[in-house]
Amino acid sequence: MTDKYESTVGQTADAVAPPPPHERRLSDAWKALKKAPLSAKIGIIVILIYVFIALFAPLLTPYGESEVVGAEFEPWGEGYLLGTDNLGRDMLTRLFYGARNTIGIAFVTTVLAFLIGGISGVLAATLGGWMDQLFSRIVDVLMAIPALIFALLLLTIFGTSIPVLVLVIAVLDSTRVYRLARAVSLNVVVMDFVEAARLRGEGMGWITLKEVLPNIMPPLVAEFGLRFCFVFLTIAALSFLGLGLQPPTADWGSMVRDNATLITYGDITPLIPAAAIALLTVAVNFVVDWFLHKTSGLRDDQ
């Protein structure tokens, strides 16, 4: 009787046992996604399509990235769905490889900008004193010059290789990240729970990682999406001006510049890379707007 009772209790306990944490997180994320507005769902789908194209560009394209396959400015047709560019390279192939290069470099640059600006901003707010003053004055100097002009100057001096391009844009954009990270961290470090952690004798690493960082993540994540758009547009602008990604690397900004002459003949081919830039920017902003609404604590109007 006892064994039977224990077996029944064990089965009941197993039946009501909560799912593992990772399953709960996936379930919560799926429920939130189903409740997301149409604009956010469209944005997520567009972003996933771009990511898929960027990852599998070599498998999706019929030619090589820099392969000359025909005469210059071939019209749209069966052989070349979007025609050819000024050197006779397939535009569809270049468009797909441009997604891989432009988006990949923009993502790496944004991550680096957040590492530089986010860490320094949180440290400045947490430590205060001379470190806050030092970091803030350096940021003031960097922000005093328009970012695009400063980037053009630095790239002219140090060259236009991809590592230099990533580092220059990351440092310039980290100033905006620093401002946000410092501002939101200053609101957290004066809270009672942070003071209690200090009184308990917790170190700076614990306070930063366990107390401050979790409470400033929502605005930082939203800023990451917006900052990615700005970096993405900056790289495209620099490539259009000839100081971004260098030939023969495919890039949407340089594709617009190289084929701009077609616009005078009523050909919309140069507008396709520009439309790809605009579509991704709008999609990311849709998702960021939804995320900000979710994390703000506001209820839906429905």
pLDDT of 302 strictly over 50: no
The mean predicted confidence, pLDDT, of the chain is 83
**Single pTM value for the model:** 0.82
Q: Residue 8's pLDDT is what? A: 52
Which domains does the chain possess?
39-296 (1.10.3720.10)
Q: Residue 48's pLDDT is what? A: 93
Q: Under a CB-based contact definition with an 8 Å cutoff, are residues 165 and 244 in contact?
A: yes
- pLDDT tens readout for residues 206-238: 777 777 888 888 888 888 888 998 898 888 888
Q: Residue 53's pLDDT is what? A: 92
d(CA 129, CA 241): 42
pLDDT band at residue 174 under the 50/70/90 scheme: very high
- pLDDT tens readout for residues 100-140: 888 889 999 999 999 999 889 988 888 888 888 898 899 98
Compute and round to an integer the Cα radius of gyration of the chain.
25
Range with the lowest mean pLDDT among 208-212, 222-226, 239-243, 249-253?
208-212
